[in-house]
Structure 1
Amino acid sequence: MLTAATIDRVVGAALEEDAPWGDITSETLIVETAIATAELIAREPGVFSGGEVFAAAFRLTDPRIRVDLIVEDGAWFDAGTVLAVVTGPARAVLTAERVGLNFTQRMSGIATLTGRYVAEVAHTAARIADTRKTTPGLRAFERHAVRNGGGHNHRYSLSDAVMAKDNHLAMLTQNGVSVTQALQAAKSRLPHTMHIEVEVDRLDQIEPVLAAGIGTIMLDNFALTDMRTGVAQIAGRATVEASGGVNLDTVRAIAETGVDVISVGALTHSARALDLGLDIRIDAGAQPA
């Protein structure tokens, strides 16, 4: 969940980073009384995300700035669309411009890429989900963007669910205990509300994991033929997640194997910032003296 407190904390830090002692350029070139009007305009089509984050950059710079969001988060738009209008003291508008753009360009890029993945699997029941491969400190922003694009969020952090990968299983079974026994013992130490997911990379690993009553099984880097076999073998006894080798060229075929979830690290670690621009005009008589 992207909260107002998180937005203010992260955006405030970004503003301090960008103008630690003020915006010398604007303070030198723009008269203090100048008023600016700016339009956030799409240079290319996409999905909008980060409207409240964009607005916060201006609000935290100067509460006198007004930001009217024209397009809602999650809405598709065409090139040339006016997404928001900003009005207020020109110096402050110019100071906040880059930080506001950086966030919404990044978030809209993630939302747009997610939307493309979601469109590829729309004819199936598979969900597109993100991963923890997010920019440090920006997870709440980037995961909000994934939701705006029609995707779903995986576990938010290491504290939210148990996800046993190959190294975890190797350590659990190093004393000769079976995978099933090790997982059952782990379940007994957890509250009943805690979800457990286990990663497998071979078909013969599936039955021992199912025998432990695990909720989700991740088929990691499976070939399509093996993935279809794995889905049939699990037969609804657990949620099936596919991961590894997922891109826009492969995601449709992966979804058609019958998996329930497809996790895609590229949604956040490889999304390109969307081309959005802020066209600013200073009102008549508001030029430097």
Structure 2
Amino acid sequence: MTPLAPNAFLSPLIVEDAVRRALDEDLGRAGDITSIATIPAGAAARAVFVARKPGVVAGLPLADAAFRLIDPAVRFTAHVADGRRIAPGDVLATVEGPARAVLSGERVALNFLGHLSGIATATAAYADRIKHTKARITCTRKTTPGLRALEKYAVKCGGGSNHRYGLDDAVLIKDNHIAVAGGVAAVLGRARAAVGHLVRIEIEVDTLDQLAEVLAAGGADVVLLDNMPPAVLRQAVELVAGKLVTEASGGINLDTVAAVAETGVDYISSGALTHSVTTLDIGLDIEM
């Protein structure tokens, strides 16, 4: 498989499943009728993936799989690794082999590569704004249905951190849970009694009074400080005094993230990393 980004894992089973679904969607029942009709069966092609805009690359293993699953005879050679910062004109990979397969896999390969590189690029922009602080930028569950593992991998390619992958790997108690369960102390008590000792518990608060309740009740590992302005966040961090991991969330953007990070929080979560990104412009140019 094409090398992954350093310190990031992406299951080859997830890669293959995602790419197969995309190819099934694109090729349909009759295949690429344009290439079948116009390209001789024995024709060969060589093409290069080229960056059109600056950014951070992510998704090369999926581009590789897009051709390999159509025809194993296609050779995909990555010239950079995921997580690499790229400039316009950089050649990211070369693909060579049967021309019909190269042309048929082109769009699926570019869709994955452009989308995931867009996420990695956006994440890097946030990470750059807060690199003078201890805070880490992290993603959320606001992901494209069916693509969560891929998009969270792209966040790591951009230098970000991953939040929980789903409802089953961590407890995140939000305001509606607190309301239904009967208050902060009650909801934390029930959560701690129900989950295993390795499961982390995070609870959301939106006022300093709620934070004080959390600290008095005990049982939480992480506190999510929701929609607090920097001045209030700074007070919250002082109240926590290192007893809990702190996460800031709500309305985070490139203009505000530095001020939030400077309050001393440990993590800053933003759904914009995955739900509002622009695809990075990458092209596939035929060389023959």
Identity %: 52
Tell me which residue corresponds to 1:179: 184
Partner residue in 1 for 2:140: 131
Write the distance in 2 (CA, Å) between the matches of 1:260 and 1:143: 19
Q: Decide whether the 8 Å contact of 2:177 with 2:187 is kept in 1.
A: no
Q: C-alpha distance in 2, partners of 1:152/1:268?
A: 13
CA distance in 1: counterparts of 2:128 and 2:269, whole angstroms = 15
Larger radius of gyration: 1
Number of equivalences: 278
Q: Distance in 1 between matches of 2:247 and 2:35?
A: 51
Q: CA deviation at 1:245?
A: 1.1
> Which residue of structure 2 lines up, in the alignment, with residue 41 of structure 1?
50
Unaligned 5+ segments in structure 2 are 1-8
Query: Which structure 1 segments of 5+ residues have no match?
Result: 283-289
Q: Deviations over 1:211-244 (max 9, x none)?
A: 2231000000001111111111111010000000
Matched, 1:25 2:34: yes
Q: Give, in whole Å, the separation in 2 of the partners of 1:190 and 1:18.
A: 43
Shift in Å at residue 191 of structure 1?
1.1
SS in 1 for 2:69: helix
Aligned to 2:16: 8
Contact 2:53 2:282 in 1 (8 A): yes
Q: 1:199 aligns to what?
A: 204
Q: Partner of 1:285 in structure 2?
A: none
What letter matches 2:241 in structure 1?
A: A
Q: Deviations over 1:82-131 (max 9, x none)?
A: 00000000011000000000000000010001000000000000010000
Residues 132-167 of structure 1: CA deviation (Å, up to 9, x unaligned) = 000000011111100000000000100001100000
Q: Residues of 2 paired with 1:278 and 1:98: CA distance?
A: 9
After superposing on structure 2, the runs of 4+ consecutive aligned residues of structure 1 that deviate more than 3 Å are: none
Instruction: Find out whether 1:244 has 2:215 as its counterpart.
Output: no
- TM-score normalised by the chain length of structure 1: 0.95
1:182: how far off? 3.3
Q: Which residue among 223, 231, 234 is the counterpart of 1:217?
A: 223
TM-score scaled by length of structure 2: 0.95
Q: Give the match for residue 171 of structure 2.
A: 162
